[in-house]
Amino acid sequence: MPLFVRPIVAVGRGTLASIVAVGKAGYLAVDAIHALKQVQLWGPHLLVQMTRIGVESVPIALFIAMFTGIVLALQASYTFTGAVPLYFVGVLVGKTMVLELGPVLTGLALSGRVGANIAAEIGTMRVTEQIDALEALAYDPVAYLVVPRVLAGAIMFPVVVILANAVGIAAGWATSLVLLDMSSPAFMRGLRLFFEPFDVQFSMIKSVTFGLTVTAVGSSFGFHTRGGAEGVGRAATGAVVISSMIILVLDAFWAAVLL
Amino acid sequence: MSIEIVNVHKAFGENEVLKGFTLTIPVGQTTSIIGGSGSGKSVALKHIIGLIRPDVGDVWVDGDNVSRLDQNSVYALRRKVGYVFQFAALFDSMTVADNVGMGLKRIPDLAEGWIRDRVAECLHLVDMDGFGDRYPSELSGGQKKRAGLARAIATEPTYLLYDEPTTGLDPVTRAVIDDLIVRMAEELGVTGVVITHDMTSAFRISDRVAMLYDGRIRLEGTPAEMRQTEDPIVKGFIEGRPELLESAT
């Protein structure tokens, strides 16, 4: 194969692999919808998964949001000084956190924390025949393993994102007070200036779809794991890469459709 | 009431694993399917409970064609077939008792107390009294296999399928597992299907032995008949003589 063709082939293979991965996740999502009626299998695990996927993700999400809020306030001040009234710092921090960085950064961070965890856990169950054992004991593994995780993702991602938005804005406000010599009323004036209740709905819609994506893609990679430890590692990596890509595509999609 | 596997073909991509696999499992007996590593023994066994579906051919269990059943019927069938996995496949997030009780929890209207008693009874049957509260990571290889067997017999199955039950065990533990398989057949009256490449074990526990070679059954008979065969492939495998296998291929 000529040397200059190799990068093109590699890109083609990568694209095909991504499309296949998305297709598999889609099929699994359809199976999960069918498995919803088996409440007795997924119901008892929903709360546990909501804790693992949602509550345990709060610290990392808030950590990221806090520093994002600080940086947003500082960069806004740097950009606006001398050109735009400083209370616009509040506009930029509020709008950017709620519309974009709160959901997207949380989604990307949780694709690593949650998506990789789900892929590794289910993938290990696959390669150690625990999923076959579930089937042999007359359990539908999609209802038992996938549905509670995907539902927990859809329910808990918006909750985590709301908290992240709040902490990001609070961090921006504190930064404005301490480092930018702004007053609280000035920051709040900016925060309220272009605020629309729809902004919060937009943030929630995005985070629900991010939650579905991260958990469905993680489950799919876990479910289709082949080989031993190496296969589990590949599944975890693949889950993070593909769910991150889908999150960014969805981010652009929702902006184009809803804004 | 029996298991019949008829002309099953199964390929994974280019790799054709089963090429017309046909075998009838006699009721009330233990049949061992022997064959080399990668010969398709596990694939054949998984066809019996519908974990794998054939590309061509049929698998009949008690008159039901497993390959044509819908998912709910397959689950109903699996309640009368216990499966002992090669590495036990215990759920590592659960205790041994929870593992053993998993199949029972799928049966409607069973009281918690009854399930608890049945779990204790099954653990007693495999000589694992007092191990119920342990996690799989706290068990040895032999104990895991016994716990896997306890889980498989909990639903009082008609059939027990064993996937390499003695692989990776020391000789003493292997003998213990062999004795358990014989006891399960005698005390519970189950029909057993064992896949193994451990010839000592196969001859000790089996009423019949069938050799899988090149995707189909090469020879089938009682242990005595298998020992006396002059078929170089079967003889070479049983006696561990690669030169016989090489001369025949």
Average pLDDT, chain A: 93
> B12 vs chain A: nearest CA distance in angstroms?
13
A211-246 CB burial, b ≥16 within 10 A, e <16: bbbbbbbbbbbbbbbeeeeebbbbbbebbbbbbbbb
Q: Using the beta-carbon criterion (under 8 Å), do B46 and A132 form an inter-chain contact?
A: yes
Judged against a pLDDT cut of 90, whether residue A86 lies above it is answered with no
CA distance linking residue B73 with residue B49, whole number of Å: 11
Q: Name the 3-class secondary structure at B163.
A: strand
- Secondary structure of chain A: what % helix, strand, coil (to 5)? 90, 0, 10
Q: Which of B53, B66, B92 to mutate to test the interface with A (most CBs of A within 10 A)?
A: B92
Q: Collect all residues of chain B within an 8 Å Cβ-Cβ radius of residue A123.
A: none
Alpha helix positions (H), chain B: 41-48, 71-78, 96-105, 112-125, 141-153, 171-188, 199-205, 223-228, 232-238, 242-248
> B148 vs chain A: nearest CA distance in angstroms?
10
> B75 vs chain A: nearest CA distance in angstroms?
5
Least confident window among A3-17, A123-137, B19-33? A3-17
Instruction: List Cα–Cα distances, B12 to A19, B20, B39, B69, in angstroms.
Output: 22, 15, 13, 22
Q: Collect all residues of chain B within an 8 Å Cβ-Cβ radius of residue A136.
A: 49, 51, 78, 81, 83, 85
> What average pLDDT does the segment A126-151 reach?
95
Interface pTM, i.e. ipTM: 0.89
Residues 6+ apart with CB under 8 A from A61: A106, A109, A110, A160, A161, A163, A164
Q: Cβ(A194)–Cβ(A95) under 8 Å?
A: yes
% of chain A with per-residue pLDDT over 90: 80
A40 interface with B at CB cutoff 8 Å: no
Pick the closest to residue A114 from A60, A188, A164 (CA basis): A60
% of chain A with per-residue pLDDT over 70: 100
* Residues β-bridged to residue B58: B6
> B110 vs chain A: nearest CA distance in angstroms?
14
B1-44 per-position pLDDT tens digit: 689 999 999 999 889 999 999 999 999 999 999 998 888 999 99
Cα separation of the two ends of chain B: 38
Q: Which of A130, A132, A137, A145 to mutate to test the interface with B (most CBs of B within 10 A)?
A: A137
CA distance linking residue B202 with residue B85, whole number of Å: 17
CA distance linking residue A175 with residue A169, whole number of Å: 10
CB count, 10 Å around CB of A258? 11
User: Measured between CB atoms, which of A128, A135, A138 is closest to B87?
Assistant: A128
CB count, 10 Å around CB of B175? 15
B11-23 per-position pLDDT tens digit: 998 899 999 999 9
B109-144 CB burial, b ≥16 within 10 A, e <16: eeeeeebeebbbebbebbebeebbeeebeebeebbb
Q: Collect all residues of chain A within an 8 Å Cβ-Cβ radius of residue B76.
A: 138
Q: Using the beta-carbon criterion (under 8 Å), do A130 and B91 form an inter-chain contact?
A: yes
| Burial class of residue A1 (count of CB atoms within 10 Å of its CB; 0-12, 13-18, 19+) | exposed
Q: Collect all residues of chain B within an 8 Å Cβ-Cβ radius of residue A37.
A: none
Q: Using the beta-carbon criterion (under 8 Å), do B91 and A138 form an inter-chain contact?
A: no
> B232 vs chain A: nearest CA distance in angstroms?
34
- If chain B, 249 residues long, is cut into consecutive pieces of 10 residues, what is the mean pLDDT of each piece? 90 92 93 90 93 93 90 88 93 95 91 94 91 94 91 92 88 87 88 92 93 93 92 88 75
Q: Name the 3-class secondary structure at A114.
A: helix
**What pLDDT does B171 receive?**
86
> What average pLDDT does the segment A198-208 reach?
96
Residues 6+ apart with CB under 8 A from A4: none
Instruction: Compute φ and ψ for A88, nearest 5 degrees.
Output: -65, -15
Least confident window among A42-56, A155-169, B106-120, B161-175? B161-175
Domain positions in chain A: 3-258
Look up the pTM and report it.
Answer: 0.88
Tokens, residue A227? 């080989």
A130 interface with B at CB cutoff 8 Å: yes
